[in-house]
Structure 1
Amino acid sequence: MPNFELNDDYQDLSDMVRDFADTVVAPVAAQHDAEHSFPYAVVAQMGELGLFGLPFPEEVGGMGGDYFALSLALEQLGRVDQSVAITLEAGVSLGAMPIYRFGTQAQQQQWLPALTSGTALAGFGLTEPDAGTDAGGTATRARLENDQWVIDGSKQFITNSGTSITAFVIVTAVTGTSELADGSVKKEISTIIVPNGTPGFTVEKAYNKVGWNASDTHPLSFTQAKVPGGNLLGERGRGYANFLSILDEGRIAIAALATGSAQGCVDEALRYAKERSAFGHNIGHYQGISFKIARMQARAHTARLAYYDAAARMLAGKPFKTQAAMAKLVASEAAMDNARDATQVFGGYGFINEFPVARHYRDSKILEIGEGTSEVQLMLIARELGL
């Protein structure tokens, strides 16, 4: 029968990141959230701990771990601050991982040491005003002139794209078209590395978001932005397909982050229910509260099992696309439901921003949207069922 107990190495990592989250991340989370400020000092310490290098081999500057190790770290960070957790998740899954998976040896040597050490970040520019899940809507164009890619277009909602340590963004762009047998036109979509500071590449003003306020997120614009032809990442025309494979892995990571948020809400609600008194008893004495927290714990536990299973399949080399979709769906809904219930347990205090449950309430909604909406996950699951 399957064993879901962590081995000593995984448990030690989880405990280490949990301690870091409680002692370093949590004390400054409310301030960064209120100020909408990027937590540079926290990110630097995460780099020193090796968190940005967890799933990469040592020969490229990594820690020699795996994707499950990264997921465990994300769960512990997500308990106390989703902004910090998504900075790590996007830095690894969307910034460094495409370079590792699809980059040339020269590209890996140029970019991975800084990315895996956390001294640099990178973003991935897929989403546009009229494109995201629908790759056919991609409007950003790149043409090859004199062995240079000339890029025109825009991207939106791009994480880690505008910090002072952001090294580059990877963008999807239409690099050609072909006519199909039925007369329709198919877009050739490729991915290109665009270093920050490239003339014609502008990082626009940061968004004023509902949540994830300490996470760096910007729209991007490209006007005759020129980069060397060697900045093509992976095979020409395989950009969108390659990114979909990155998303499958990323959904496990987001599920882990969401599980952490769901568990963080349980922890906060449980603590408050034991401290707050009403009518002669602590409020946890009453079934209206105790049953609510029990259901929250069941959601967090179920979400954890779902991402553990998806990660185990991935590491074993088995198909995991559907399991990753289910994990992301279940965990993101658990995070949102638990945030709502925890806010209710806290009553009026749950509506005050400096309380962690209020941040989780604002932060968790994006978990049902980013890196594939819940509707996309349902579509993938239904397709696997033959529907």
Structure 2
Amino acid sequence: MTRDWARGLGDGTRCVHSGLADPVVGEPLLAGPVFATAYHLNGSSRRSEPDYYARAGNPTWRALETAIGELDGGQCVLFPSGMAAISTLLRTVLHYGDTVVIPSDGYFATRTFVAEELAALALTVLEVPTTGSWPDFDGVRLVLLETPSNPWLDVCDIQSLVDRAHAAGALVAVDNTTATPLGQQPLALGADFVVASDSKALTGHSDILMGHVSTVDSVLADRLRKARTLGGAVPAPFETWLAHRSLGTLDLRLARQSSNAAALAEALLAHPAVRTVRWPGLPGDPAHELARRQMRRFPGVVTIELADAETADRFVAAARLVAAATSFGGLHTTGDRRAQWGDPVPEGLVRLSVGCEDPDDLVADVIQALDAVVT
């Protein structure tokens, strides 16, 4: 299924060609989704073919897994959502009485899952902000990193933490949702797993739920596939096909979103209604120097802090090109006041997911909306 000649080529080429079979006359470049639940067997063994039942395997999954795996630099295991991916990873790796390190400033649902759904495992949970200070990893089973963090966009040194964790015998997983494989390569930096919500920038059209875990360890990949089969956390073929179709424009979308984020972040710095602007691409941002060394491109997400919840809500309502939405990474610019979901952040914090609009139009619209809340 993979095109070996595409390895080492540019991001745009790999996004367009990864996971595709060699072209066949009279057939589409990307084969349509396979919807079957029952497959013909060869008569010798029910497991002798890759597809014997749709919960265990599907050719549409494998095509997308090959594509994402090529971009991540490992073996990809696909899931129906980002939470299905991270929850299956945690359930597979963690055992009774283990110690796990998780980001205190990362995605709040991950922390909630560990605290509530994994409570029966009697885990020792160490919550650490992305910027540290990091504990001694002796006795730790898993270190989960999220960089850039959501929503503050702080960054941690993946390779340094991987070296420390591995020296202590711990595994490392990196939530790469915000960066995407084109922005950051955790597996190349030594991480054992990369996990992501592909509902966000990877598919980028705000119409698909999807997630994945990638690893360079085939044994760990097989454990994840078995957990997926037994747990039933399987993606639907049509959504998988849509995700693969969307992947072809990832390089183009990220380039526009990143350049738009740069223009918007610069404009926001000068506005009196904005207390704080966070974007790793800004030279003055606390995360900039590390992000510049570690990341291949900066994300299309800008986080700002306004005076309070009312100001934030009025700002989003006044904007014509910024829709109120809680996901991010899509074509359309959206704003989300994160505190409304119980995230422990200032009430006026707004995470802006910068879309693919014309940069001049977008900056002008955001500035007029901010002007409206201070007049």
Q: TM-score range by the shorter chain?
A: under 0.3
Greater helix fraction, Structure 1 or Structure 2 = 1
**TM-score, with normalisation over the residues of structure 2?**
0.25
**TM-score, with normalisation over the residues of structure 1?**
0.24
